[in-house]
């Protein structure tokens, strides 16, 4: 449209003359770009409703005989674009976005399982995942067995042939940073025809694609978004599996906003740059922490003394942004160190440009028995760092001053 051109007043269907301006303002003009003229950034489709000019086309869509859009909760173009971009990154055929990472997990479990089914999960799983599975067991009759991701014998023993339908795990785990043996777990799932579900949030979208995983789950709130201003989740796999989850849990009404999709699509453009910087900083800081007095048990899969470092090297391109360590002290000392940090903000989540810190006991223990709590290493002296993209020397100086200033 040129600057001076005026849109034609709209005519109603049929004959009937010009529309009143009150009607026109509701049925406003839509600007279509010329075929050879493109926006560099995709438009954000905030429209909840989509229409066809002919009923025949609408009927085809409802009957699944054509693709298209009808209602935002079912499918949205901006969301769909992100789904396909995420799938390409993870190396899967298809994807499905949810309102949060936890919704991706709950949609997957509720979409694939029914009461009486059995699933296997790891006690090192993300705390709300443990809570969700506890709820599914207690209120919805989905049975489960919890094992250690490191205990291969117990994992295989937990399988009840015919009844166990699914296994879910993470790697590295949050926040202990244990490394799951991907080859072992995926082969076991194939051997017993279990659906393998990997929560790949910690590793990121460019890791683990070489393994035969049925469902990759991501919290897009983390590395994909990267800027602490958008929430979302993704379920990635082949189209058949993704559709089983999308439609199997459809009536739960989960909805991923196109505005969040736009923010995450923007974040995704710098995904590799951010991830590489976070991981480079994290390795540097993990090594630095090991040199500080009053710091012990520094855990980062990229450290040579991590118990499964060789496996991590084989499985991962980079080792992520999260470090866990203990201080020599009690809960008060831990809180004092955290409160003394200036650059690290005391906040949940990970994979953002900002560096963050949390005490592990308060945030990650729970839904564990006594032995697991002990083995988890989630004590009152534990601290989790999520490393951002700031200058690494500034981050080290901040840690040095907080630890030496608080613990002497």
For ligand PLP, give the closer residue by CB, 176 or 221.
221
Instruction: Tell me which DSSP letter residue 10 carries.
Output: P
Distance in Å, CB of 251 to ligand PLP, minimum: 21
| Cβ–Cβ under 8 Å, residues 95 and 79 | no
Alpha-carbon gap, residue 345 to 327, rounded angstroms: 18
What's the gap between Cα 205 and its chain centre?
A: 9
Q: Which contiguous run of DSSP H or E holds residue 86?
A: helix 77-90
What residues line the site for ligand PLP (CB under 6 A)?
Answer: 100-102, 126, 170, 174, 199, 201-202, 219, 221, 231, 233, 349
The sign one gets for the Cα dihedral 380, 381, 382, 388 is positive
Q: Which is nearer to ligand PLP, 199 or 333 (CB)?
A: 199
CB-nearer residue toward ligand PLP: 72 or 233: 233
CA distance 327 to 333: 8
**Pair of tokens at residue 338:** 């955290």
Cβ-based nearer residue to ligand PLP, 230 or 295: 230
Choice between 134 and 290, CB closer to ligand PLP: 134
- DSSP class of residue 169 equals E
In the complex, which residue's CB is closest to ligand PLP? 101
Our CB check for ligand PLP shows the closer of 195 and 295 to be 195
| CB-nearer residue toward ligand PLP: 219 or 281 | 219
- Evaluate whether 123 touches 176 at the Cβ level (below 8 Å): no
Give the closest residue to 163 by CA, choosing from 114, 206, 196.
Answer: 114
Cβ 1 to ligand PLP shortest distance, Å: 41
Instruction: Give dist(CA 189, CA 198) in Å, integer.
Output: 12
Shortest distance, CB of residue 244 to ligand PLP, whole angstroms?
20
Smallest gap from residue 222 Cβ to ligand PLP (A):
7
**CB 237, min distance to ligand PLP, A:** 16
Provide the minimum distance between the beta carbon of 233 and ligand PLP in the complex, in angstroms, as a whole number: 6
Dist. CA 134–CA 57, nearest whole Å = 45
CB 300 within 8 A of CB 319: yes
Beta carbon nearer to ligand PLP, 102 or 286:
102
Neighbouring C-alpha atoms within 13 Å toward the C-beta of 335: 6
Minimum distance from residue 147 beta carbon to ligand PLP (Å): 18
Q: Shortest gap between Cβ of 216 and ligand PLP (angstroms)?
A: 12
Distance CA 315, CA 182 (A): 8
Three-state DSSP state, 75: coil
DSSP 384: E
């Amino acid at each position: 449209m040129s600057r001076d051109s005026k849109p034609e007043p709209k005519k109603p269907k049929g004959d009937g003359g010009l529309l009143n301006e009150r009607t026109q303002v509701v049925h406003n003009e839509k600007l279509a770009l010329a075929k050879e003229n493109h926006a560099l950034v995709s438009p954000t489709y905030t429209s909840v409703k989509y229409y066809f000019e002919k009923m025949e086309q609408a009927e085809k869509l409802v009957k699944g005989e054509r693709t298209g859009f009808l209602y935002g909760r079912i499918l949205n173009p901006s969301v769909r674009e992100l789904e396909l971009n995420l799938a390409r990154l993870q190396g899967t055929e298809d994807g499905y976005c949810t309102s949060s990472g936890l919704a991706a997990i709950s949609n997957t479990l509720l979409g694939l399982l029914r009461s009486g089914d059995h699933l296997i999960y790891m006690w090192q799983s993300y705390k709300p995942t443990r809570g969700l599975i506890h709820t599914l067991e207690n209120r919805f009759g989905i049975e489960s067995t919890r094992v250690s991701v490191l205990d291969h014998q117990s994992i295989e023993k937990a399988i009840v042939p015919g009844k166990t339908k699914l296994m879910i795990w993470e790697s590295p785990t949050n926040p202990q940073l244990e490394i799951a043996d991907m080859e072992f777990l995926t082969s076991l799932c194939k051997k017993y025809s279990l659906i393998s579900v990997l929560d790949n949030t910690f590793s990121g979208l460019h890791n683990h694609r070489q393994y035969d995983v049925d469902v990759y789950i991501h919290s897009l709130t983390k590395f994909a978004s990267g800027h602490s201003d958008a929430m979302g989740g993704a379920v990635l796999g082949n189209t058949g599996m993704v559709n089983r989850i999308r439609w199997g849990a459809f009536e739960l009404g989960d909805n991923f906003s196109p505005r969040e999709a736009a923010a995450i699509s923007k974040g995704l453009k710098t995904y590799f740059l951010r991830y590489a910087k976070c991981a480079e900083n994290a390795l540097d800081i993990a090594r630095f922490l090991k040199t500080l007095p009053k710091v012990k048990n520094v855990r980062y899969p990229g450290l040579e003394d991590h118990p499964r470092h060789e496996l991590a090297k084989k499985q991962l391109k980079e080792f992520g942004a999260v470090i866990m360590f203990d201080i020599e002290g009690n809960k008060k000392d831990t809180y004092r160190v955290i409160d003394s940090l200036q650059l690290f903000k005391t906040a949940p989540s990970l994979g953002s440009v900002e560096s963050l810190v949390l005490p592990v006991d308060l945030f990650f223990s729970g839904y564990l028995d006594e032995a697991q709590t002990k083995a988890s290493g989630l004590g009152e002296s534990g601290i989790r760092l999520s490393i951002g993209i700031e200058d690494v020397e500034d981050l080290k100086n901040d840690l040095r001053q907080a630890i030496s200033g608080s613990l002497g």
